[in-house]
Structure 1
Amino acid sequence: MTDDTTGTPVGRRQFAKLTGAALGLSAFGGVVAAESTERFIVKRRGKKSIGAELLYDLPEIGYAVVRGSEEQLKRDKAVKSFEPDIELQVGDPVAETEPQDSDALDDAFYAYQWDKQDLDVPTAHETTKGEGTRLAIIDSGVDASHPDLDVNVEDSKDFTGDGLGAGVPGGGDHGTHVAGIAAAAIESPAGVAGTAPETDLLDFRVFSEFGGTSGSFGSIVAAVVEAVQKECDVANLSLGAYPIPRQGNGSFYGGVLNKTMNYAEKEGTLVVASAGNDATDLQHDGGLISLPNEAAGVMSVAATGPIGFANELLGGSVNEPAETPARYTNYGTNAVDLAAPGGNFDPTLTDPVGGVPAYAYDLVFSTVTEIESVEDGEVQTAPGYGWKAGTSMAAPNVAGAAALVKSNNPDYNANEVRSALEDAADVPDEYGKEYYGSGYLNVLDAL
């Protein structure tokens, strides 16, 4: 469940086709594709050693991720229960536009960041830029060679085992775009502004297009635990799976996530997740569950965005403001905790403005990248900038804001950071609470 895109190719499932021009709307990791026949999530029985090959030992939450067989696990007295590790499938976007370079946009990149303008992030930076905090991006990989991203590669980790390591966009540029929204540097006038540009940015890659294990539920859980152990104040998950039945296997996976997220919350890591792009009422969806955003302790974020921002760039006014619920966003009174800029679109706005289709300006502009070559494990990338939209883009706006709150209030625990964000938010009068939870993100009042 994450993003629509007009940017570099990133594997994601098709969501919708638009009139006049195609916009790649996606659900990154939003489909349960297969159950692994050799990887399993195991609930431990006490502290006994498990006989199967241990991939991730997670004693903090009472589980482990192992490789073995069902017969082996059924006989193992150290195993209380188990289920197959879910592998998430992603597909190609419907369409995409090329990444934009500085010549095409006259280097005035901040002018295209309606999200940062609406949140008044520059004023927030007069108080803090996120210094003294740590933020983990659990995603498709963050391009550490991008000039706008300062990635702590040493403390980052690749959970796919594809041999490319951390700090590379091995699963596509989705994670690079997400990272830029949360934490892009602000020193360069030709770049984009992140919400928390001085947070310590970590890349925990769980998707791969180069082999290894891509999008496994067990790897994502292990990445959250790793974020806690690396003392991250915030972990961003712009990914997920929907729909999953609440009963049966869904109950098992939900239980694993609840234990994981409760552990993160207790240890001081606020987990922020995208609510999904299915335009679905998660509150009344008939016994289904969306993961991880509906797990206990997770801050679930819905998306908003303007319609007609290109008009404002031309001296006019937008048709709909930035607080407008995005047409694709999931919603639900008890399923959404906050709403934030994630991008919107009107498929009829296809006339070019500055060489770009007008609808693109209503998406979120951030860092992107392409892999040019991989040779002997060395990755060469072509960093750039581009537009994407989705709850994937809304979540890192909140994650960056959480880093600012923590930076300005270093004694706050995860619950206090969350409360500051929720207490500062308000629901716009013209829309229902089901689209906003506590309300629309207000960075300044949260500080």
Structure 2
Amino acid sequence: MVRHTRRSFLKVSGAAMGGIAVGSSVAVATSTERFIVDSKKTSKSDATAAGLEVVHDLSEVDLLVVSGAESDVESLGAKYAPDTVYSLDLPDTSAPITAEEASATDEPYYPIQWDKQSQNVPDAHEITQGEGTRVAVIDTGVAAGHPDLAHAVNTDLSQDFTGDGYGAGGPYGGYHGTHVAGIVAANDDNEEGVVGTAPETEIVDCRVFSPSSLASFADILAAMVYSANIGCDAANLSLGAYPVLRESNGQFYGKVLNRTTSYVHNQGTVLVIAAGNDAADLQHDANLISLPNEAANVMSVSATGPIGFNWGDAGLESPTYTPAKYTNYGTSAIDVAAPGGNYDPEFPTGWYYDLVFNTIAEPVFDSDGNYQGATYGYAWLAGTSMAAPQVAGAAALLKSQNPEYSANNVRSVLRNTADVPEEFDRAYYGSGVLNPLAALQE
């Protein structure tokens, strides 16, 4: 097992941390031992006969993920590329604040959830809460034991794609996946914590990050296929790589990714993917590509957020649909925008209220890397990582109301009912800002 090396959050009966621009990731290395192979002209048995270990057999999309010497991979006579490794862009956790400072009551932190307020989530819940749906969270792991998520996580279907031995249904790769899952499905009737967009949906933890923060492109592909095969209505990927060159291996990665996303889409699973936190114009980067959010048949999500929420003034300096300072953009590269959090770097206190507040679970490991449990709490975080699950939750609501909808139907309705703000450049929004209530009333 990999030894845990992350900085820890404060322990909570309510303590929380603030972090800016979380959750897109960057490609940091290519593997010299693991490869993605186009299996249209070869087979699993061929790979085994060549002395290769088959890590993932993705026959649904004509791909094999193998481990072994590159010379043995070459002997298959098939197209291939090295697997790539990703590292989450985790937040700066240098600014702790206690949740008690929020003065929240009722479900009790809803008053500081500007993201749910701006989407009229309580009104949407009068129509549906996501009953009968299933959402995969492809991430660092989801804490099934968190008080706001215990009702939602299906541990039997949850799966570890890393092979690191920790399993699934826990925050073994860090707090990030639990925050994402809470945005989708945090319990709305347990009289504690926060509310999710679709609290009655079922969450499947598809863990692709290990405690070292590393994940592989191949594991992500495998998790996508698995999500479709178990009938998920949506799969959330708050991760990605930018910039990737379109030429050379980038063409191969793009081809196998599109093959995978098209399969998942055709199976009825809406793939919702964070657009990234590089403040990059994806539409005009001719020789570069952002993966996987620029793949075919996915919903690429940019981030918005207010400036001045709960600072003490009656109004906002900038509305909740303000493009986030960090978000990637590009009219043709973004499907919709959604609440991900914003910040004013010149404001000395209270800036964290403009971030997204939701569940976290910080894993605890001993010096030998053995998992000792987790500390459950809540945190303010921001990023397109936080925007994407707003859309995944909305997809669950829409599918709950319309079980006959295909993935294309869901995607089309969410885009067609999105609001288009006039104050800011359309390039930040794609079709507009997510409006779950309008989608349900369509």
| TM-score normalised by length of structure 1 | 0.89
The 1:47/1:132 distance shift into structure 2, 3 A limit, reads farther
Could you report, residue by residue, the CA deviation over 1:205-233 in whole angstroms, capped at 9, with x for unpaired residues? 100116xx931000000000000011100
The 1:177/1:99 distance shift into structure 2, 3 A limit, reads farther
Work out whether 1:410 is the aligned partner of 2:403.
yes
Partner-residue secondary structure (3-state), 1:142: coil
Could you report, residue by residue, the CA deviation over 1:369-408 in whole angstroms, capped at 9, with x for unpaired residues? 2123459965411100110001000000000000000000
Structure 2: unaligned runs, 5 residues or longer: 1-6, 11-16
Q: Is contact 2:159–2:206 with CA below 8 Å preserved after alignment?
A: yes
Match of 2:419 in 1: 426
Query: How many angstroms apart in 2 are the aligned matches of 1:196 and 1:178?
Result: 12
Q: 1:27 Cα deviation (Å)? A: 5.6
Structure 1: unaligned runs, 5 residues or longer: 1-5, 10-21, 352-357
Q: 1:101 Cα deviation (Å)? A: 4.6
1:17-166 to structure 2, matched below 5 A, reads 24-26=19-21, 28=23, 30-46=25-41, 48=43, 49=45, 50-51=47-48, 52-77=52-77, 80-90=78-88, 93-98=91-96, 100-101=98-99, 105-107=103-105, 108-149=108-149, 150-166=152-168
Q: 1:92 Cα deviation (Å)? A: 5.3
Q: Report the identity percentage.
A: 53
Partner-residue secondary structure (3-state), 1:310: coil
The 1:191/1:93 distance shift into structure 2, 3 A limit, reads closer
Q: 1:349 Cα deviation (Å)? A: 1.9
1:301-340 to structure 2, matched below 5 A, reads 301-311=301-311, 314=312, 316-340=314-338
* AA aligned opposite 2:204: L
Q: Is contact 1:171–1:207 with CA below 8 Å preserved after alignment?
A: yes
Query: How many angstroms apart in 2 are the aligned matches of 1:128 and 1:62?
Result: 38
Match of 1:191 in 2: 193
Match of 1:17 in 2: none
The 1:281/1:36 distance shift into structure 2, 3 A limit, reads same
Q: 1:29 Cα deviation (Å)? A: 5.4
The 1:99/1:409 distance shift into structure 2, 3 A limit, reads farther
Q: Is contact 1:158–1:205 with CA below 8 Å preserved after alignment?
A: yes
Query: How many angstroms apart in 2 are the aligned matches of 1:144 and 1:97?
Result: 27
Q: 1:445 Cα deviation (Å)? A: 1.1
Q: Is contact 1:27–1:276 with CA below 8 Å preserved after alignment?
A: no
Partner-residue secondary structure (3-state), 1:137: strand
Q: 1:429 Cα deviation (Å)? A: 1.1
Q: 1:95 Cα deviation (Å)? A: 3.5
Partner-residue secondary structure (3-state), 2:395: helix
More deviation, 157-166/235-244:
157-166
More deviation, 277-286/101-110:
101-110
Query: How many angstroms apart in 2 are the aligned matches of 1:67 and 1:42?
Result: 10
Partner-residue secondary structure (3-state), 1:438: coil
Partner-residue secondary structure (3-state), 2:117: helix
* AA aligned opposite 2:164: D
Work out whether 1:438 is the aligned partner of 2:439.
no
The 1:317/1:261 distance shift into structure 2, 3 A limit, reads same
* AA aligned opposite 1:168: G
Query: How many angstroms apart in 1 are the aligned matches of 2:61 and 2:292?
Result: 16
Match of 2:184 in 1: 182
Query: How many angstroms apart in 2 are the aligned matches of 1:403 and 1:226?
Result: 18
Q: Is contact 1:8–1:97 with CA below 8 Å preserved after alignment?
A: no
More deviation, 333-342/154-163:
154-163
Query: How many angstroms apart in 2 are the aligned matches of 1:90 and 1:128?
Result: 33
1:346-385 to structure 2, matched below 5 A, reads 346-351=344-349, 358-373=350-365, 379-385=372-378
